[in-house]
Amino acid sequence: MNPAPSVVIFTVLSGLGFGFLALLGVFGSAGMAAFFLWALGYGLAVAGLVASTFHLGNPQRALLAFTQWRTSWLSREAWASVVTLLLFAPQAVSDWLGLEWGRGFGMAGAAMAFVTVYCTSMIYAQIRAVPRWHHWTVPAVFLAYALSGALVMGAVRPYAAWMLVLLGIALALHWHFGKSAFARAGASMESATGLGRIGAVSVFEQPHTGGNYLMREMIFVVGRKHADRVRMIAMVCSVMLPVLALMFIPGVAAVIVAVAVHLLGALAQRWLFFAEAEHVVGLYYGAH
């Protein structure tokens, strides 16, 4: 699949933002610090959501995306994110101005924040035609990123390190199952054309000499060449280096370093998530 920058940035920033908002919702903060922290959380989440509209052909109609929550994960995600952002608002005001409204809104918002991230992940995991995505490890990875990123940002040291380890495990599992996903889905050139019943199929001639939307969007093969290297970068940057930074660097410096490399790793992982995902339509073109 085509790793469009808008979707890579959308999923990474909104995941991190919602995770961080959830952390603030549960534990809170006070005074001017609260103002800046809440603003940071909102900024990340909203920036991600805004980025997601960049790849729309007709963004002026985006409000219609709220109508189909019964069937569509994208629609559910739209609702979940708006509800989450609204739930956090009174909590943020209470924290900032010291209004002592309890943590009810924050708790509810935190729960909804993870529902939102889950909905985001299901937009991809629901798609059977991309076998690598159609797996429970996809929501696991998205949720683990949101939670560990938030803990790193919040400098909740021991928990952050443990959560990063869990993220590492989720990533390893996701990549492990991803390797055989296409084969397990059972689609081949023979089943795609149905010609397997008479023999072995190969491409004789392509249907068009130029490119088309399908090839640009779904038969993106450039990234696969470097997949192993990007996997390594993702694991080292989003998991290992932040753990080391949190363990061995004292003070705020650790958090800044850890957040920066973690974010870099998350971007690498998400780029690869799209770039190496094979869509079954590639079979018609002799690729996948």
Partner 1 sequence: MTGLPERTEKKLGLVIDLDTCVGCHACVTACKGWNDQGYGVPLSDQNPYGADPSGTFLNRVHSYAVQLVDAAAQIINFPRSCLHCEDAPCVTVCPTGASYKRAEDGIVLVNEDACIGCGLCAWACPYGARELDQAAGVMKKCTLCVDRIYNEALPEEDREPACVRTCPTGARHFGDFADPESKVSRLTAEREGFALMPEMGTKPVNRYLPPRKKDRPEEASLLAPLLDIKATGLAGWLDRVLGKI
Residues that bind partner 1 (CB under 8 A): 1, 55-59, 61-62, 64-68, 70-75, 78, 123, 126-130, 185-187, 189, 191-195, 197-208, 210-214, 217-218, 279-281, 284-285
In whole angstroms, give the CA distance from residue 82 to residue 119: 12
Least Å distance, CB 283 to partner 1, is 8
Query: Of 50 and 185, which has the nearer Cβ to partner 1?
Result: 185
Least Å distance, CB 9 to partner 1, is 16
Considering only the C-alpha atoms of the chain, give the largest distance between any 2 of them, rounded to a whole number of Å.
75
Query: Of 94 and 120, which has the nearer Cβ to partner 1?
Result: 120
Query: Of 51 and 239, which has the nearer Cβ to partner 1?
Result: 51
Spatial CA neighbour of 92 closest among 23, 12, 15, 13: 23
User: In this structure, which amino acid lies at residue 16?
Assistant: L
Least Å distance, CB 287 to partner 1, is 12
- For the beta carbon of residue 21, count every other beta carbon within 10 angstroms: 31
Least Å distance, CB 280 to partner 1, is 5
Question: Tokens for 89?
Answer: 């608002």
Q: What angle do CA 178, 182, 188 make, to 5 degrees?
A: 170
In whole angstroms, give the CA distance from residue 274 to residue 271: 6
Q: How far is CA 9 from the centre of its chain?
A: 9
Q: 52-85 burial string, b = 16+ CB within 10 Å, else e?
A: beeeeeeeeeeeebeeebeebbbbbbbbbbebbb
Query: Of 127 and 155, which has the nearer Cβ to partner 1?
Result: 127
- For the beta carbon of residue 111, count every other beta carbon within 10 angstroms: 15
Spatial CA neighbour of 4 closest among 216, 234, 232: 216
- For the beta carbon of residue 274, count every other beta carbon within 10 angstroms: 19
Least Å distance, CB 72 to partner 1, is 5
Least Å distance, CB 87 to partner 1, is 22
Query: Of 193 and 253, which has the nearer Cβ to partner 1?
Result: 193
Spatial CA neighbour of 145 closest among 19, 7, 231, 273: 19
Query: Of 161 and 283, which has the nearer Cβ to partner 1?
Result: 283
Query: Of 39 and 64, which has the nearer Cβ to partner 1?
Result: 64
Query: Of 20 and 274, which has the nearer Cβ to partner 1?
Result: 274
Spatial CA neighbour of 287 closest among 230, 200, 225, 218: 218
Least Å distance, CB 125 to partner 1, is 12
Least Å distance, CB 197 to partner 1, is 6
